Amino acid sequence: MRIGIPSWDDIRAAAGCLEGKAHRTPVLTSAGIDALAGARLFFKCENFQRSGAFKFRGAYHAVSRLSPEEARRGVLTHSSGNHAAALALAASLRGIPAHIVMPSNASIAKRRAVEAYGGQIVLCEPTLAAREETAKRVFRETGAALVHPYDDPAVIAGQGTVALELIEQEPDLDFIIAPVSGGGLISGIALAAAAWPNIELLAAEPEQADDAFQSLRAGRLVRPASTDTIADGLRASLSERTFSVIQRRVREIITVSEAEIIAAMRLLWERMKLVIEPSSATPLAAVLKRRERFQGSRAGLMLTGGNVDLDALPWQARRNG
Amino acid sequence: MRIGIPSWDDIRAAAGCLEGKAHRTPVLTSAGIDALAGARLFFKCENFQRSGAFKFRGAYHAVSRLSPEEARRGVLTHSSGNHAAALALAASLRGIPAHIVMPSNASIAKRRAVEAYGGQIVLCEPTLAAREETAKRVFRETGAALVHPYDDPAVIAGQGTVALELIEQEPDLDFIIAPVSGGGLISGIALAAAAWPNIELLAAEPEQADDAFQSLRAGRLVRPASTDTIADGLRASLSERTFSVIQRRVREIITVSEAEIIAAMRLLWERMKLVIEPSSATPLAAVLKRRERFQGSRAGLMLTGGNVDLDALPWQARRNG
């Protein structure tokens, strides 16, 4: 099987395709958080991206590359959240149906988002087997094109555009740090940042869903022992494709605890006034945990999304028991 | 008594003074909220301003204009919140003391912010008389320069810079809508926007603290019947100075209910991923309440601040009783 990996030119082309369609999200800074970190931190606010997450980049790009004939049959995915909403929005912008296979335990906020964009939800049991089986059934019934959340070259190329944009906005970065889950974002960033070899690329991952960390250490794909993390966007695991890019280009994966994620999340809400989801807090948690590594540097941190249930924030849960 | 009103040149000068000191805050948009409103809305995100509110503009400008001799004795204000934190930060940047007279019922979040910036808090009873008496005592003891939250030409000129910036970022606005409390912001905006006579200037005010609305209708300063609103940044009342500007330049004051404020606030959190305080939600509440007035237009809305207690959000309070 040929493993398709987008080239730098593919990512440039994806950036052209997204121009005027995706938001050019702002890069924000905080003197207070810089003082805490001992570094200059540049937060790329993809929580302000359309559909509330960077996922719109990959989804829109993948949808735009379907032939008219393919597009007519619609698109299909199985996703626990942000990719689902992003694909529903991207499909609605092209005027085609999106069939979204979601586990029955997906958060209400994320289900509502998919519905708001006109996506058609097909619920299934919350197991990988049930998701794949249900997706196959929908495919048999509709012929819709599967747009995988991350194991798809067009999706990876779309996600990579965020790095081109960040580097254009902040040219002198020493680091770029992004969360890793299935690896679509970090491998897109790695391929995009290849033109800037001085930028060190790091990933942040929850200790409680650390398959990327384990895989990089073992030198082969390791299935996660658990995915029980509050960072609900980071429960997927790498594919051969994304792992192969990560292995070559990502210097280190820094794992962070649940408490570190929640503390960093609260800091971003309080000091920077940003509604971000727990996944987005992992890069800051990593920087604060490993201060010495970033001392005096300029680091770009990906805030990947802002889709949280405002009625169930982590600090509420902690307070109320 | 001479009522000092800043000129357009004063506001330009203030903008020069703030360059590189205040954040140039981004303007964000939301296709979803535009669809709800039937208008193109441009949100000027002063919740991302230093100290978490536009107040930094006026405070920094006022502090910068003190002579070295005046500055040495420090600054002094009585404020229930954002101006206090902003003045503390502005003073600390100049390396001078800030004495902040605060009512004993001020929120913990706002007290913490003042302390974090090195401000020296002097608590007093939560009455206007006690605040003024305490401020006089601190003045006798320190000789510190009073920087009023809004009834001060340097403060008004500083606040006005936000309009210059917004108009530069979005040149073709039909409306600018800002909350009104003591009137420092809206009068600064009015003076700054005087060079663009096609922009209609509106203010938004809580029904439950509607002294500006009442004053504009009566043609004279009317003291508020109540200030019992969740929009804790909007409990002050106009001065002769700010009223005189508002009378000449503000077309209409739109009042909004508590429920409308909370609904608009939640919309901004959910759809735009912005941590904003209730005051900041009043312009959007006004636009959604009076849709017909804004149909098809391009409106700039001031999101004035993001300083909220994350442990006591309005929808939590409602849910928990």
Other Cβ atoms closer than 10 A to B202: 23
With beta carbons under 8 A apart, name residues in chain A contacting B110: none
Q: Dump pLDDT digits (tens) for A133-151.
A: 999 999 999 999 999 999 9
Structure tokens at A219: 């030198």
Judge whether B8-54+153-319 and B56-146 match in fold: yes
Of B172, B170, B180, the C-alpha closest to B198 is B172
Q: B113 pLDDT exceeds 90? A: no
The answer to whether B46 and B188 have CB atoms below 8 angstroms apart is: no
Can you give the pLDDT at residue A79? 81
- CATH annotation of B8-54+153-319: 3.40.50.1100
Q: Is A315 on the interface with B (CB under 8 A)?
A: yes
For A240-284, the pLDDT digits (tens) are 999 999 999 999 999 999 999 999 999 999 999 999 999 999 999
Is the per-residue pLDDT at B255 higher than 60?
A: yes
- Please tell me the distance in Å from A318's CA to the nearest CA on chain B: 11
Q: What percent of chain B has a predicted confidence (pLDDT) above 90?
A: 88
State how beta strands B27-28 and B40-45 pair: antiparallel
Across the interface, do A270 and B310 touch by the CB < 8 Å criterion?
A: yes
> How many beta-carbon pairs below 8 A join chains A and B?
49
pLDDT in tens, B279-307: 999 999 999 999 999 999 999 999 999 99
Calculate how close chain B gets to A190, using CA atoms only, in Å: 27
Q: What is the spatial distance between Cα A189 and Cα A207, in angstroms, rounded to a whole number?
A: 22
Q: Report residue A176 as tokens.
A: 């770029």
Q: In what order do the strands lie in the sheet with A98-103?
A: A120-124, A98-103, A75-78, A145-146
Whole-number pLDDT of residue A1: 33
**Mean pLDDT, rounded, for B119-123:** 95
Domain A56-146 has CATH 3.40.50.1100: yes
Tokens of B52: 């978490």
For B243-252, how does the pLDDT look when each residue is reduced to its tens digit (9 = 90+)? 999 999 999 9
3-state SS class at A181: coil
Q: What is the ipTM for the molecules in this complex?
A: 0.93
Cα angle for residues B293, B297, B302 (degrees, 5° grid): 85
Q: Is the pLDDT of residue B60 over 80?
A: yes
CA distance A294 to chain B (A): 24
User: How much is the average pLDDT of A201-225?
Assistant: 96
pLDDT tops 50 at residue B241 = yes
Please state, rounded to an integer, the average pLDDT across all residues of chain B: 94
Give the residue extent of every domain in chain A.
8-53+152-319, 56-146
User: Any residues with CB less than 8 A from the CB of B168 and at least 6 apart, and which?
Assistant: none
pLDDT at residue B317, rounded to an integer = 57
Binned at pLDDT 50, 70 and 90, residue A3 comes out as low
For B258-274, what is each residue's pLDDT tens digit? 999 999 999 999 999 99
Q: Find which of B24, B115, B273 to mutate to test the A interface (most A CBs within 10 Å of its CB).
A: B273
CATH of domain A8-53+152-319: 3.40.50.1100
Which residues, numbered 248 to 277 in chain A, qualify as contacts with chain B under a Cβ-Cβ cut-off of 8 Å? 266, 269-270, 272-276
Q: Dihedral sign for Cα A273, A277, A283, A288, please.
A: positive
- Each residue of B177-203: pLDDT tens digit? 999 999 999 999 999 999 999 999 999
Residue B141's contacts (CB-CB under 8 Å, 6 or more residues apart) are none
Candidates A320, A321, A313; CA nearest to A266 is A313
What is the pLDDT, as a whole number, of residue B127? 87
CA distance B79 to chain A (A): 21
- CA distance linking residue B57 with residue B52, whole number of Å: 11
